[in-house]
Amino acid sequence: MDTLDTVSTKMQQIAQNAERMPQVSFTSLSHHLDSEWMYEAYKETRKDGAVGVDGQTAEEFQVELKGNLESLLELAKSGKYKAPPVRRAYIPKPGSKEERPLGIPTFSDKVLQKAVSWLIEPIYEADFHDCSYAFRPNRSQHMALNSLWKGLMGMNGGWIIDVDIRKYFDSIKWSYLSDILKLRVRDGVLIRLIGKWMNAGIMEDGELAFHDRGVPQGGVVSPILSNIFLHEVMDKWFHEVVLPRLQGKAFEVRFADDVMLCFENKADAVRVLEVLPKRLAKYGLELHPKKTKLVNFVKPQGNDGDYKRGTRPDTFTFLSFNHFWKRSRKGNPVIARKTNQARLRIALEVMNIWCRRNRHMKLSEQHAALCRKVAGHYAYYGITGNYVSIKNYLNQVERIWQKWLGRRSWRDKLNWARMRDRVLSKYPLPKPRIVVTWA
């Protein structure tokens, strides 16, 4: 049996125990941490990521791989491990002048965080509700979209609370997270390690700062921790406290901190919206007052006027898709989705920048890269009913490519006819296609 099989077997055992004992807090998990577990964690750690405060790359870590893993393991189990601060970096927010802060751990920290996340993940997979789809094995954004579509179609639309939690990842308070973790995990080694990561501090411009809240976006263990926190704060509360008190049907769909609460009855939605700020405030979270809204998404009654702007139900955006009611080919009301215009604009801006920066690259190399990018766009946005949007995306990408190829030289202007006959005939971009289909 190879090391991967051994680690998988241990994770299955943890999952089985967690499912069999839903009220038990696990006090002994770190004994699973051994050289095989650490090696598999290293293999699954991204090797091309940004470096942390120590400047060590994955290649440098690999030079003394066995020794580095053994040292990391010994320090973690003995309690001597000192979590280095994360390096603050910023990336542009798509479609905004703001920047998103990232916390970049060292490579050795990433390996250890991967090992620890593997220990706690099977426990919470037994606890998580089906409504959550982010940062979980074998789950995706498309599955969340499908669940939302089926739920709303099944109860003829309804009233939706589009929840926006202000700066969620930066607002998670370690003291609250620690209490929540201990409901299921009381292993001293793991709790101590997670506490060290949460309190390691942030290094920015040579200065070290400490905070009592926030999980670094960029940390390997951060996704599972943020999911655990919102599972306790939102999902359990909604299913165990809210649902039994409602008059009509309701359901939740959540992808990370993108939360949609859907209700058959307007009065139920209004009542929940009134108490939701108090529930979040109990754990140090806050709703965004402008972005959180109640959406009337009740199924149109069939009159043509119900589909006209100003009289039809509201639309909403979830996971970069606009959702709205339209008539099917048979004339029945159906929920349709198309690419959100802001997201389409961002995707085209990114493509414009790439074509400008790489316009002097060989044409064959440009073509290969553009094919990958366009196919990637189809892989996400190519869902049932969104053909027109992805076709529009392709048309505009071709125009962008023509614009920057035409600026490689002032002598030979490349108009659209020449672009079509000389370039696209030999180097065609992938045709629009629906990749994800649902019955």
User: Could you give phi then psi for residue 30, rounded to 5 degrees?
Assistant: -65, -15
The total of other beta-carbon atoms located within 10 Å of residue 153's CB is 13
Residues 6+ apart with CB under 8 A from 206: none
Distances (CA, A) of 152 to 129, 186, 250, 381, 396: 18, 40, 9, 20, 33
Tell me the residue type at 59: E
H or E element at residue 89: strand 86-92
The total of other beta-carbon atoms located within 10 Å of residue 431's CB is 10
The total of other beta-carbon atoms located within 10 Å of residue 210's CB is 9
> Rounded CA gap, 78 and 209, in Å?
27
pLDDT on residue 411: 67
Strand pairing class (207-209; 202-204): antiparallel
pLDDT on residue 1: 47
- Residues 182, 141, 274, CA angle at the centre, nearest 5°? 60
Strand pairing class (207-209; 316-318): unpaired
Q: Which DSSP string do the residues of 285-325 spell out, in sequence order?
A: --B-TTT-EEEEEEPP-S-GGGGSTTTSPP-EEETTEEEEE
- Residues of the chain with pLDDT below 70 are 1-2, 94-97, 302-313, 410-412, 438-439
Cα atoms found within 13 Å of the Cα of residue 83, Cβ hemisphere only: 25
Contact 10, 121 (CB under 8 A): no
> Rounded CA gap, 402 and 406, in Å?
6
pLDDT on residue 282: 97
pLDDT on residue 172: 94
Specify the 3-state DSSP secondary structure of 143: helix
pLDDT on residue 330: 85
| Tokens linked to 389 | 């949007």
pLDDT on residue 439: 46
